[in-house]
Amino acid sequence: MEERSTTRSVSDAGVPVRRRLRIGDLTLRGGTVAVSLGLVVLLAGLLVVLATGAAPALSQLGLSFFTSRQWDPVTNHFGALPYIYGTLVTSTVALVLALPVSIGLALLLNEVRSKWVRNPLTVLVDLLAAIPSVVYGLWGLFVLAPALNTYLAPFLARTLGKLPVLGALFVPTPAVGNMLNAGVILAVMIVPIITAVTREVIATVPADLREASLALGATRFESIRMAVLPYARSGIVGATMLGLGRALGETIAVSMVIGNGLGISASLLAPGYTIPAVIANEFREATSTGLQHSALLALALVLVVIALVLAGASRLLVRRSERGFR
């Protein structure tokens, strides 16, 4: 009788606890599903609005909208190719410049044991991420661009500009703003994002993995190269795509230093234009009933599609990196 009463009391006391846990789990799961579906619906609504607004321009211009280089609101000739080209080139330059610096900073912040070095650098990286883009633009316009045009651009033209194939990227032009300036300012802006995410990813590398590589006779550099970086490869790819997304959508800072020139040139020292910059500069002047308004919405749709394609590609790269490490 005593055992039966004890079991009953334990089971009676356990039922409300299980119910409470079940209600909490169901509430959390329902809230998570609702937020996820809300994000999907929001993205779908965004695509529908952009596609509806871009339909007149795409139906009237057809494929010439993506292949033409002319952008003339007076004659209703709109070609998105220079803007697509400028967006991809500046983002690529920014990624090439920012990725090695970001990975190096992340490794430094994780490997250096001295708090006198690590803590100030961590605060500095976080502060760089919090600076508004207009401040970056003003700094790039008055400080960075004159320095690059005075010292870096002539140096690149004298050295790399004389090489057979690579020299086409550094043909000098008299323009003050160019795609190299925009790429450099974008690199400065995305370094804090990539560094912060990469730092957190590298911090999750198991200590046993490091100790095992050191026990096998690897140096500290070899341990980082053969154990830490391969383990964190998928996270680094994700951080890189986050920085690339920031570079693709940046508007104010790029428009201040890129020169806003409508044209396609292989030289990084030539002026260019990006999709966010042209939307920000011309959207207020475009009437809601004209074809220019629809063309700008079509540019926004193209930018969203590029971002979605890169997001999908990043997921594939992350999965492939995880499989390769395994």
CATH fold of 62-325 reads: MetI-like fold (1.10.3720)
Q: What is the pLDDT of residue 175?
A: 82
Q: Mark out the alpha helices in the chain (DSSP H runs).
A: 2-61, 64-67, 81-111, 115-130, 133-139, 145-147, 153-158, 179-203, 207-215, 220-223, 229-231, 233-249, 252-257, 275-282, 291-325
CA dist 6 → 3, 9, 20, 29 (Å): 5, 5, 22, 34
**Identity of the residue numbered 305:** V
Residue in this structure with the two tokens 């930018």, named with its chain if needed:
303
Q: What is the pLDDT of residue 11?
A: 46
Q: What is the pLDDT of residue 287?
A: 67
3-state class (DSSP) for residue 272 = strand
Q: What is the pLDDT of residue 226?
A: 84
Enter the pTM of the model: 0.85
Q: What is the pLDDT of residue 29?
A: 85
Q: What is the pLDDT of residue 321?
A: 63
Q: What is the pLDDT of residue 1?
A: 44
Q: Do the beta carbons of residue 270 and residue 178 sit within 8 Å?
A: yes
CB neighbours of 290 closer than 8 A, spacing ≥ 6?
Answer: 73, 76
3-state class (DSSP) for residue 71 = strand
Q: Which segments of the chain have a pLDDT < 70?
A: 1-21, 287-289, 321-326
**Which tens digits make up the pLDDT trace of 195-232?**
999 998 888 888 888 888 888 888 888 888 888 888 88
Return the bridge partners of 259, or none.
Answer: 272
Q: What is the pLDDT of residue 326?
A: 59
